[in-house]
Amino acid sequence: SQELEQSPQSLIVQEGKNLTINCTSSKTLYGLYWYKQKYGEGLIFLMMLQKGGEEKSHEKITAKLDEKKQQSSLHITASQPSHAGIYLCGADNYGQNFVFGPGTRLSVLP
């Protein structure tokens, strides 16, 4: 079955700094989803990528899917304390179910 890895496992940045979180799949991705989870709360959908080379942006968050569709990156520009949380990538496991990466815990220091 498909497995997702994320790096880094955790990240602490100063407010205003840029950062990147990576998600790598063991198999070709046919749909890659990014979610954010605030501590102790449920997951919130951020964006979905399906095509190789696709890039989407929402406010200060940009996600890309590489041409081979095995790796995605999430980039946050000028981070703010409101960006803190756990970022998880998720993917369609070849029609069997939906799998998630282990998550990247982001802390933004004011």
Partner 1 sequence: IAGITQAPTSQILAAGRRMTLRCTQDMRHNAMYWYRQDLGLGLRLIHYSNTAGTTGKGEVPDGYSVSRANTDDFPLTLASAVPSQTSVYFCASSEGLLSGELFFGEGSRLTVL
Specify the residue, 18 or 28, whose C-beta has the smaller distance to partner 1: 28
Binding site for partner 1 (CB under 8 A): 31, 33, 35, 40-45, 48, 88, 90, 92, 95, 97-103
- Least distance (Å) between residue 78 CB and partner 1: 26
Nearest-approach distance from CB 102 to partner 1, in angstroms: 4
- Provide the minimum distance between the beta carbon of 48 and partner 1 in the complex, in angstroms, as a whole number: 6
Q: How far is the CB of 80 from partner 1 (least distance, A)?
A: 23
How many other CB atoms are there within 10 angstroms of residue 23's CB atom?
28
Reference 5, options 89, 107, 98; nearest CA is: 89
Nearer to partner 1, 71 or 77 (CB): 71
Q: Which is nearer to partner 1, 4 or 108 (CB)?
A: 4
Tokens linked to 32 = 């890659």
* Three-state SS at 81: helix
27 CA to centre of own chain: 17
Q: Identify which of residues 18 and 107 has a Cβ nearer to partner 1 in the complex.
A: 107
Q: Which contiguous run of DSSP H or E holds residue 23?
A: strand 19-25
SS3 50: coil
What's the token pair of residue 18?
């840029």
